[in-house]
Amino acid sequence: MEQLTSRSTNYAQWYNDLVLKAGLAEHSAVRGCMVIKPYGFSIWERMRDDLDRRFKETGHENAYFPLFIPKSFLSKEAAHIEGFAKECAVVTHYRLKNSEDGKSVVVDPEAKLEEELIVRPTSETIIWNTYKNWINSYRDLPLLINQWANVVRWEMRTRLFLRTAEFLWQEGHTAHATRQEAEAETRLMLDVYADFVQDILAIPVIKGVKTESERFAGALDTYCIEALMQDGKALQAGTSHFLGQNFAKAFDVKFTNSEGKQEFVWASSWGVSTRLMGALIMCHSDDNGLVLPPRLAPNQVVIVPIYRKEEERIAMIEACKTLANQLKSAGIRVKLDDDDKKKPGWKFSEYEFKGVPIRLAMGPRDLESGTVELSRRDTLTKESVPVEGLSEKLTQLLEEIQTSLFERAKAFRNEHITRVDSWEEFKTVLEEKGGFLSAHWDGSAETEAKIKELTKASIRCIPLDGQTESGRCVLTGNPSTQRVLFALAY
């Protein structure tokens, strides 16, 4: 295993090295697009399946809408096109032909589309154009639909998982008869995201609402969950938008209410993406590689047999197989690595690097004494434990590790929420300590922009559990009624 740049040397380099060397993802031949490698994809699959289950449990169904959006759709909702990045992939032609020398292909100039198609950067417009035909009466509502899809936003500076031109995500798009119901849905999905990220990814999050300038284009309110990375920068891990009647008005989606009157439909949309992979890595991993929470790890336990002679090999592998089967029966995801072409030392560092929560090594002496060497990835500690009762012990230990990772991250996060009450303090804490700065803000977009310009820190959110408290804006001294959270962010 090659050496990993240490986090203290260069955090960004450490991250990139880790993603590449742990086999999670890599850059492709197409600018800004990544290849998600099998190990990375197996982790994403587990995230997807768990989220999908939660969506279905809360009454949502999956569907699939077109990859392309007619250009004219994008300008139908004014705030959407104004606020949304115009950097997107544009399809203008639908045919190639052989070049004159016959050695390559060229775009056929005669196959030009009448109206250009945009590769979806998000699907509100095409979906609301479809909902127009699906919704007539209050009986058709609510419509609770989710889509798993790839989307494209032409990013100039890309980073694996964190910001790529193409990424995978889910986008929920719901339609409701009342404002109240759409707002409740928006908040419900924020809770679903928060529970998932905390319970499965073991990442503590702060639920909040975005300021007007940070809102999704076309939304009346954008709710978010914000997480803190080890380098003190914040990462938005998911968003849920209350869209009011904006898209219904743009696409003329009305329903007949129970009194027979026509009304515009109320909407929400919400999404998380492969960006969560970046959050996962930067929350838990260390200079030895990836650290995975047990509930998410594709392999929770790896067993490595240790032997020298051929007679030993047969006995060891037999014993390891028996053990692996016991653990599997107990519902533990276990891998036995009995590959004879690789040395135990190589395997140890491989699985450590790939973040397998627990490693068991078994050698001839263990076989005699009925023990096994158990190593924890999160603490890098080792102990000898009896094979007897190991399933129960490991089941418990995996849960302990899950909790321990969450508590460790939460303690770090809490230590990095600093109340600041002056501009000097704001600048010093941001520069020297990082993390979230809990500060008063006068509520104006100008002040918000000025602070961002001066420090690059943005308002990550107005916390939902924040208390009303009168104070003075950290920059202007104007009155304020609540602290908000500032941070540098991914």
H/E stretch holding 436 reads strand 436-440
Number of residues that bind a second copy (CB under 8 A): 63
Is the Cβ of residue 21 or residue 393 nearer to a second copy in the bound state? 21
Q: Which stretch binds a second copy (CB under 8 A): 143-151, 242-250, 446-454, 477-485?
A: 143-151
Quote the least distance from Cβ 30 to a second copy, whole Å: 5
d(C-alpha 91, C-alpha 153), whole Å: 14
- Return the range that interacts with a second copy (CB under 8 A); candidates 24-32, 172-180, 389-397, 438-446: 24-32
Inter-residue contact 174 to 166 (CB < 8 Å):
no
* Strand partners of residue 264: 254
Can you read off the two tokens belonging to residue 4? 């990993």
Report residue 470 CA to chain centroid gap: 35
Which of 43, 152, 202, 485 lies at the binding interface for a second copy (CB under 8 A)? 152
Q: How many CB atoms lie within 10 A of CB 326?
A: 15
Asked if 126 interacts with a second copy (CB under 8 A), we say yes
Rounded-to-integer distance, Cα 363 and Cα 355, Å: 22
Alpha-helical runs (H) found in 330-384: 344-353, 364-369
484 CB burial (10 A radius; 0-12, 13-18, 19+): buried
Q: Provide the minimum distance between the beta carbon of 162 and a second copy in the complex, in angstroms, as a whole number.
A: 16
Burial of 85 (0-12, 13-18, 19+ CB in 10 A): exposed
Which stretch, 10-18, 105-113, 323-331, 370-378, contacts a second copy (CB under 8 A)?
105-113
For the CB of residue 129, give the shortest distance to a second copy in the complex, in Å: 5
Residues 38 and 26 sit within 8 Å (Cβ to Cβ): no
User: Whose Cβ is closer to a second copy: residue 92's or residue 369's?
Assistant: 92
Instruction: Give the nearest distance from C-beta 33 to a second copy in angstroms.
Output: 4
Of 22, 168, 234, 297, which one interacts with a second copy (CB under 8 A)? 168
107 binds a second copy (CB under 8 A): yes
Q: Which is nearer to a second copy, 336 or 437 (CB)?
A: 336
Measured from the CB atom, is 346 or 423 closer to a second copy? 346
Q: Taking the complex as a whole, how short is the minimal distance between the CB of residue 137 and a second copy, in angstroms? A: 11
- Tell me how far, at minimum, the Cβ of 66 lies from a second copy, in Å: 4
Task: Look at the block and give the residue holding tokens 């949304």.
Answer: 84
Contact region with a second copy (CB under 8 A), list: 110-118, 344-352, 359-367, 480-488: 110-118
29 DSSP 8-state letter = S
Q: Please list every residue from 26 through 45 that binds a second copy, using CB under 8 A.
A: 26, 28-30, 33-38, 41-42, 45
| Minimum distance from residue 127 beta carbon to a second copy (Å) | 9
Minimum distance, C-beta of residue 287 to a second copy, in the bound complex (Å): 26
In the complex, the smallest distance separating the C-beta of residue 426 from a second copy, rounded to whole angstroms, is 36
Residue 212 · residue 272 · CB < 8 Å: no
Pull the structure tokens for residue 114: 């009448």
Kindly write out the interface string for residues 329-348 of this chain, putting x where it contacts a second copy by CB under 8 A and - elsewhere: ------------x-------
Nearest residue (CB) to a second copy, 35 versus 464: 35
- Residue closest to 409 by CA, chosen among 238, 293, 271, 274: 293
Residues near 296 by Cβ (< 8 Å), separated by ≥ 6? 43, 46, 47, 200, 201, 202, 280
Burial class (CB in 10 A: 0-12, 13-18, 19+), 53: exposed
Nearest to 410 by CA among 235, 284, 233: 284
Chain residues 38-97 in contact with a second copy, contact rule CB under 8 A: 38, 41-42, 45, 61-75, 81, 86-97
Contact indicator for 215, 448 with CB cutoff of 8 Å: no
Question: Smallest distance, Å, CB 401 to a second copy?
Answer: 25
Chain contacts with a second copy (rule: CB under 8 A): 26, 28-30, 33-38, 41-42, 45, 61-75, 81, 86-97, 103-105, 107-108, 116-119, 126, 129-130, 133, 139, 145, 149-150, 152, 154, 166, 168, 341
